[in-house]
Amino acid sequence: MSLKDQITEDMKVAMRAKDAPRLLTIRGLLAACKQREVDERIVLDDAAVIAIVDKLVKQRKDSITQFTAGNRPDLVEKEAAELLVLEGYLPQRLGADEIAAQVAAIVAELGASGSGDMGKVMGAVKARLAGKADMSLVSAAVKKALTS
């Protein structure tokens, strides 16, 4: 069963359980997937769905930061609940040590050195670790690897 099919099944379960907040989040995710399929005239595979989920997770984290700064605990709670639902569709994330090891291997493969090669390394790392790691941690690991 593809990830998109699993999300659709979860939507049906949420409808039957009358779980409105979860249902709203899942419908938003499916709408984002459908929008991309229509815009690009493609059928999304699991990697593309994970990329969409990753984007929505980042949006929720940014919103939580903004709502916390604006002293809006009601909205922080809503966004945190949506974040939990969305993170359930992401694969197990790599830890900081695993990310550093992968980045070091890619830097060695490319023979990169210095901050001038940051773009080249990030492109390769992004292709290999997309959906498997938090890109802010990856970026920090790449900077560290290139400056040391």
pLDDT, tens digit, 9 for 90 and up, residues 85-128: 999 999 888 888 898 888 888 888 888 777 778 888 888 888 88
Q: Rounded mean pLDDT of 121-143?
A: 85
Residues 26, 42: Cα–Cα separation, whole Å: 21
pLDDT, tens digit, 9 for 90 and up, residues 11-69: 999 999 999 999 999 999 999 999 999 999 999 999 899 989 999 999 999 999 999 99
Neighbours of 100 (CB within 10 A): 18
Whether residue 30 is found in the same domain as residue 77: yes
- The tokens of 84 are what? 């939990």
Whether residue 56 is found in the same domain as residue 101: no
Parent domain of 116: 96-147
pLDDT recorded at residue 43: 94
Whether residue 77 is found in the same domain as residue 10: yes
Whether residue 77 is found in the same domain as residue 125: no
pLDDT recorded at residue 65: 96
Amino acid at 115: S
Whether residue 14 is found in the same domain as residue 41: yes
pLDDT recorded at residue 21: 94
pLDDT for 83 beyond 90 = yes
